[in-house]
């Protein structure tokens, strides 16, 4: 139990590492990276210990539960074989209490605000994922970021990022969760804007921070409301997550309050987890170093929203009446995001942006999964997605690091890299297949469960959405693999000089390409800073071990992680370990359906096939967008990202910044001030009549006449005698008169 009870060490170690790196990092031989790697490594060990002890705890509880006659299940368990579906159902009667510890941060008028840990299967799973991915990113970065201008700061921020996310994960109350959440936002701001000398990068950082903070309005309101949810149920408010969940399931809380609480929290999720319509910051966040992108997209930041949804799921379950089926806000937001994210991935030239939109789409799956009542499936997808998405991002980083001169433009600077970068190619391919949901890789199991849940829980519409999304995912990832690893290598002589590229493309794309050029130039100072870099026109080569080893580790997980809940083979370990048994809602589990599984894999294969036919074989209407106005308009709509950025930047921000702020300021300067000026003028006119000498010296006279400003002591006394204070006395008297009259009237 030691690891579970002391899980607070998991976030604390990287937090200390942050301070150490910041203070002494620059003086260390490896500029602080060794501290970061060691700290996250220690955290990872602690998280693994906690995971093992949690599994033991679950097994113990089941053992105790099975004591009364379910000997068979126990024998099966003891033999180490997977517990059968029947056995699992039985086992789920066992209640496994979370391990909690709590201490008061401060308390105020009866409101206790505390820090604590609530360690259960969900928290343990997240700790494992976060520390593992963070560790790999830390290792990978020692090579990828070598020679960077702010190497030490980078590692400090990385440590704080990990610590913040882990603070959020272990939180036993919504307030602590909010604190971790905000700190994650801060770190993303620092890391996305890591190369802030170039404006697009700091723009992207600001956009990420502000957009997620828009969602934070909802989160802040929602967290405050959770306090009142508990108060409504028990008479005493509390931020405790367990108490919130118990209150939500107790039936004592009105549906309206739960609905608004859920809606407010959902706004937070939309902001943080890149859901429509606040997803626009996520692709821009690619301005950060690639390992950071991997961390943001796989383990920290964006999944924080989904984690929140899973953490206080009973609030959503009751608030959105998820049990009823049909359509609800959460499922709808997720469903829309699945499609719009996937569609945008098709028109990206930047490999990282393809992956970014893919993340948006996959986060949509998770939110949709929560929305349709498939809790375990959604959380499972979070788990598997973390591995293959980190795999893909780090793979893209590897390509840019060693294959394309720090460019991410797959149309211009990549191609044909499968032979020169075999490890990167293979791991990337595994990640792609896992993401596409090909049997039996990780993504297949989790995505299939979400689809199954949607179908069986009365959300047929979202089953269709999920299938369409699966087709699109497979297709755009195949396109991506084609551009990066197949065809001719296009990065040989620098693409700037290659006119054939831009000439054939439409205006929009040209515009985009220019943007990409800038994007790429931003990297140049980094590129030249690399000590090992063998010149700017060096041949593409495989990345060194510090980069490929993390890729291999992640691709192993991408293949096998899904087997934790391979329901087809009656393995339900993930569900058994992770699904809460205390203060939870009756989510349904459905038997694996081979027909549906075959259909979904077939659809994914169809997507791959379509892309293959289009890109490899050149079938279908090539360059349709150039010939057909409708297609062109459609593509433009996508390239312009549904014009949402225009809406936000030009219309909303523009309005606030220009007309609204100007109008407010005009009101300020003219209306309010004029009232003052005229009053002042009127009073002064009156004053001139009454006290003729008031203005003789005037305002300036007072100032100029002050003896003290020239060092004379007597000036202070003289001031009191001069006009302004007389005027003041007059006003006082006048006010008293007016006031006396008012009082008399009021009686």
Residues from 208 through 237 that contact another protein (CB under 8 A):
209-210, 213-214, 216-217, 220-221, 224-225, 227-228, 231, 234-237
Of 80, 108, 256, 689, the residue at the interface with another protein (CB under 8 A) is: 108
* Residue 438: how many other CB atoms lie within 10 Å: 18
Residues from 583 through 642 that contact another protein (CB under 8 A):
none
Q: Is residue 107 at the binding interface for another protein, with CB under 8 A as the rule?
A: yes
To another protein, the closest distance from the beta carbon of 42 in angstroms equals 23
Shorter beta-carbon distance to another protein: residue 531 or 713: 713
Residues from 157 through 176 that contact another protein (CB under 8 A):
175
The answer to whether residues 310 and 370 touch, using CB atoms and an 8 Å cutoff, is yes
Q: Is 115 helix (H, G, I), strand (E, B) or coil?
A: strand
Of 656, 690, 693, 696, the residue at the interface with another protein (CB under 8 A) is: 656
Residues from 239 through 268 that contact another protein (CB under 8 A):
240, 242-243
Shorter beta-carbon distance to another protein: residue 97 or 514: 97
To another protein, the closest distance from the beta carbon of 240 in angstroms equals 8
Ramachandran angles phi, psi of 312, nearest 5°: -110, 45
The answer to whether residues 369 and 381 touch, using CB atoms and an 8 Å cutoff, is yes
Closest among 249, 124, 105, 114 to 173, alpha carbons compared: 114
To another protein, the closest distance from the beta carbon of 440 in angstroms equals 42
Shorter beta-carbon distance to another protein: residue 503 or 676: 676
Shorter beta-carbon distance to another protein: residue 496 or 662: 662
To another protein, the closest distance from the beta carbon of 405 in angstroms equals 22
Which contiguous run of DSSP H or E holds residue 533?
A: none
To another protein, the closest distance from the beta carbon of 15 in angstroms equals 11
Residues 6+ apart with CB under 8 A from 371: 316, 320, 322, 328, 329, 330, 331, 332, 333, 334, 335, 459, 462
To another protein, the closest distance from the beta carbon of 315 in angstroms equals 17
Closest among 271, 302, 345 to 184, alpha carbons compared: 302
Which residues pair with residue 114 across a beta bridge?
104
Residues from 181 through 200 that contact another protein (CB under 8 A):
182-183, 186, 189, 193, 196-199
Residues from 403 through 462 that contact another protein (CB under 8 A):
none
Q: Is residue 507 at the binding interface for another protein, with CB under 8 A as the rule?
A: no
Shorter beta-carbon distance to another protein: residue 138 or 207: 207
The answer to whether residues 281 and 367 touch, using CB atoms and an 8 Å cutoff, is no
Shorter beta-carbon distance to another protein: residue 48 or 647: 647
Shorter beta-carbon distance to another protein: residue 213 or 523: 213
Q: Is residue 706 at the binding interface for another protein, with CB under 8 A as the rule?
A: yes
Q: In a 10 Å sphere around its CB, with 0-12 CB exposed, 13-18 middle and 19+ buried, how is residue 497 labelled?
A: exposed
Helices 545-560, 422-436: axis angle to 10 degrees equals: 30
Q: Is residue 680 at the binding interface for another protein, with CB under 8 A as the rule?
A: yes
Q: Is residue 486 at the binding interface for another protein, with CB under 8 A as the rule?
A: no
Closest among 399, 391, 461, 398 to 427, alpha carbons compared: 391
Distance of CA 588 to the CA centre of its chain: 28
Q: Is residue 742 at the binding interface for another protein, with CB under 8 A as the rule?
A: yes
- Phi/psi region, residue 486 (left: phi>0; alpha: psi -120 to 50; beta: rest), is beta
Q: Is residue 740 at the binding interface for another protein, with CB under 8 A as the rule?
A: yes
User: What is the spatial distance between Cα 12 and Cα 15, in angstroms, rounded to a whole number?
Assistant: 5
Which residues pair with residue 350 across a beta bridge?
409
The string of DSSP letters for 147-184 reads: T-TTHHHHHHHHHHHHHHHHHHHHBSBHHHHHHHHHHH
Residues from 41 through 100 that contact another protein (CB under 8 A):
100
Q: Is 113 helix (H, G, I), strand (E, B) or coil?
A: strand
Shorter beta-carbon distance to another protein: residue 539 or 658: 658
Shorter beta-carbon distance to another protein: residue 235 or 251: 235
Q: In a 10 Å sphere around its CB, with 0-12 CB exposed, 13-18 middle and 19+ buried, how is residue 445 labelled?
A: buried
# residues near another protein by CB under 8 A: 87
Shorter beta-carbon distance to another protein: residue 594 or 744: 744
To another protein, the closest distance from the beta carbon of 502 in angstroms equals 28
The answer to whether residues 396 and 408 touch, using CB atoms and an 8 Å cutoff, is yes
* Residue 627: how many other CB atoms lie within 10 Å: 10
To another protein, the closest distance from the beta carbon of 685 in angstroms equals 14
To another protein, the closest distance from the beta carbon of 386 in angstroms equals 25
Shorter beta-carbon distance to another protein: residue 71 or 703: 703
Shorter beta-carbon distance to another protein: residue 216 or 572: 216
Q: Is residue 700 at the binding interface for another protein, with CB under 8 A as the rule?
A: yes
Closest among 131, 151, 187 to 25, alpha carbons compared: 151
- Phi/psi region, residue 96 (left: phi>0; alpha: psi -120 to 50; beta: rest), is beta
User: What is the spatial distance between Cα 512 and Cα 646, in angstroms, rounded to a whole number?
Assistant: 15
Of 27, 29, 80, 106, the residue at the interface with another protein (CB under 8 A) is: 106
Shorter beta-carbon distance to another protein: residue 6 or 100: 100
Per CB under 8 A, which region of 204-212, 347-355, 424-432, 604-612 contacts another protein? 204-212
To another protein, the closest distance from the beta carbon of 408 in angstroms equals 22
To another protein, the closest distance from the beta carbon of 94 in angstroms equals 20
Shorter beta-carbon distance to another protein: residue 232 or 596: 232
Query: How is residue 576 written in tokens?
Result: 């058994």
User: What is the spatial distance between Cα 369 and Cα 356, in angstroms, rounded to a whole number?
Assistant: 20
Shorter beta-carbon distance to another protein: residue 111 or 507: 111
Q: Hunting for tokens 């991997």 — which residue is that?
A: 294
To another protein, the closest distance from the beta carbon of 222 in angstroms equals 10
To another protein, the closest distance from the beta carbon of 742 in angstroms equals 5
Distance of CA 472 to the CA centre of its chain: 23
To another protein, the closest distance from the beta carbon of 186 in angstroms equals 6
Shorter beta-carbon distance to another protein: residue 178 or 433: 178
Task: Tell me the CB-side half-sphere exposure of residue 660, using CA atoms within 13 A.
Answer: 7
Shorter beta-carbon distance to another protein: residue 220 or 556: 220
* Degrees, nearest 5: CA angle 569-574-576: 95
- Phi/psi region, residue 103 (left: phi>0; alpha: psi -120 to 50; beta: rest), is beta
Closest among 118, 68, 75 to 94, alpha carbons compared: 68
Query: How is residue 296 written in tokens?
Result: 């943001």
Distance of CA 525 to the CA centre of its chain: 28
Q: Is residue 651 at the binding interface for another protein, with CB under 8 A as the rule?
A: no
Of 419, 628, 696, 709, the residue at the interface with another protein (CB under 8 A) is: 709
To another protein, the closest distance from the beta carbon of 683 in angstroms equals 8
| Window 659-678: contact mask with another protein (x via CB under 8 A) | -xxx-xx--xx--xx--x--
Of 80, 110, 251, 499, the residue at the interface with another protein (CB under 8 A) is: 110
């Amino acid at each position: 139990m030691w690891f579970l009870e002391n899980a607070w060490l998991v976030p604390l170690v990287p937090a200390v590492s942050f301070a150490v790196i910041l203070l002494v990092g620059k003086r260390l031989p490896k500029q602080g990276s060794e501290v970061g790697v060691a700290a996250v490594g220690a955290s990872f060990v602690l998280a693994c210990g906690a995971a093992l002890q949690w599994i033991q705890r679950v097994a113990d509880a089941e053992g105790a539960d099975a004591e009364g006659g379910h000997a068979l299940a126990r024998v099966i368990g003891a033999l180490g074989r997977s517990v059968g579906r029947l056995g699992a159902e039985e086992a789920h009667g066992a209640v496994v209490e979370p391990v909690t510890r709590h201490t008061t941060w401060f308390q105020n008028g009866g409101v206790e605000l505390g820090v604590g840990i609530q360690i259960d299967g969900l928290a343990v799973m997240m700790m494992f994922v976060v520390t593992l991915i963070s560790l790999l990113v830390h290792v990978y970065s020692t090579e990828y970021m070598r020679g960077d201008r702010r190497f030490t700061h980078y590692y400090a921020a990385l440590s704080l990022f990990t610590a913040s996310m882990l603070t959020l994960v272990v939180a036993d109350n919504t307030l602590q969760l909010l604190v971790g959440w905000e700190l994650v936002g801060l770190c993303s701001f620092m890391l996305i804007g890591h190369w802030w000398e170039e404006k697009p990068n700091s723009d992207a950082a600001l956009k990420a921070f502000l957009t997620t903070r828009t969602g934070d309005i909802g989160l802040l309101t929602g967290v405050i409301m959770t306090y009142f949810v508990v108060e409504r149920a028990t008479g005493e408010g509390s931020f405790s997550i367990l108490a919130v969940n118990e209150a939500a399931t107790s039936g004592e809380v009105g549906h309206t309050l739960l609905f608004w609480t859920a809606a407010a929290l959902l706004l937070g999720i939309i902001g943080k987890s890149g859901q429509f319509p606040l997803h626009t910051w996520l692709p821009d966040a690619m301005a950060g170093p690639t390992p950071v992108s991997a961390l943001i997209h796989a383990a920290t930041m964006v999944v924080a929203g989904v984690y929140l949804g899973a953490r206080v799921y009973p609030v959503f379950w009751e608030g959105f009446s998820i049990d009823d089926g049909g359509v609800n806000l959460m499922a709808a937001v997720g469903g829309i995001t699945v499609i719009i994210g996937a569609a945008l991935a098709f028109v990206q030239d930047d490999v990282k942006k393809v992956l970014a939109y893919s993340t948006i789409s996959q986060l949509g799956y998770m939110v949709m999964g929560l929305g349709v009542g498939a809790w375990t499936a959604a959380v499972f997808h979070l788990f598997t997605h973390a591995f293959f998405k980190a795999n893909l991002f780090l793979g893209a980083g590897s390509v840019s690091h060693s294959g394309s001169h720090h460019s991410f433009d797959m149309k211009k600077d990549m191609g044909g890299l499968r032979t020169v970068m075999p490890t990167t190619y293979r791991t990337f391919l595994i990640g792609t297949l896992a993401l596409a949901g090909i049997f039996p890789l990780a993504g297949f199991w989790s995505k299939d469960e979400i689809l199954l849940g949607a179908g069986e829980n009365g959300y047929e519409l979202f089953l269709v959405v999920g299938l369409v999304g699966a087709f699109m995912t497979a297709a755009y990832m195949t396109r991506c693999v084609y551009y990066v690893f197949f065809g001719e290598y296009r990065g040989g002589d620098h693409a700037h000089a290659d006119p054939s590229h831009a000439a054939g493309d439409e205006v929009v794309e040209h515009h985009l390409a220019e943007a990409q050029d800038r994007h790429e130039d931003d990297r140049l100072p980094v590129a030249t800073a690399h000590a090992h870099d063998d010149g700017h026109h060096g041949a593409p080569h495989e990345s060194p071990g510090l980069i490929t080893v993390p890729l291999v580790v992640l691709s192993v997980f991408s293949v096998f992680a899904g087997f934790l809940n391979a329901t087809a083979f009656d393995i339900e370990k993930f569900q058994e370990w992770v699904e809460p048994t205390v203060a939870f809602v009756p989510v349904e589990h459905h038997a694996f359906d081979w027909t549906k599984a075959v259909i979904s894999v077939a659809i994914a294969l169809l997507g791959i096939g379509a892309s293959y036919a289009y890109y490899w074989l050149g079938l279908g209407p090539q360059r349709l967008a150039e010939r057909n106005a409708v297609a062109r308009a459609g593509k433009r709509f996508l390239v312009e990202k549904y014009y949402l950025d225009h809406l936000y930047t030009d219309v909303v921000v523009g309005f606030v910044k220009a007309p609204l702020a100007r109008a407010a300021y005009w009101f300020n300067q003219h209306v309010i001030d004029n009232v003052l000026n005229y009053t002042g003028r009127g009073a002064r006119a009156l004053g001139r009549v009454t006290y003729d000498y008031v203005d003789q010296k005037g305002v300036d006279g007072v100032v100029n006449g002050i003896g003290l400003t020239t060092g004379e002591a007597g000036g202070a006394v003289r001031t009191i005698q001069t006009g302004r204070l007389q005027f003041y006395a007059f006003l006082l008297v006048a006010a008293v008169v007016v006031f006396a009259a008012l009082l008399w009237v009021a009686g």
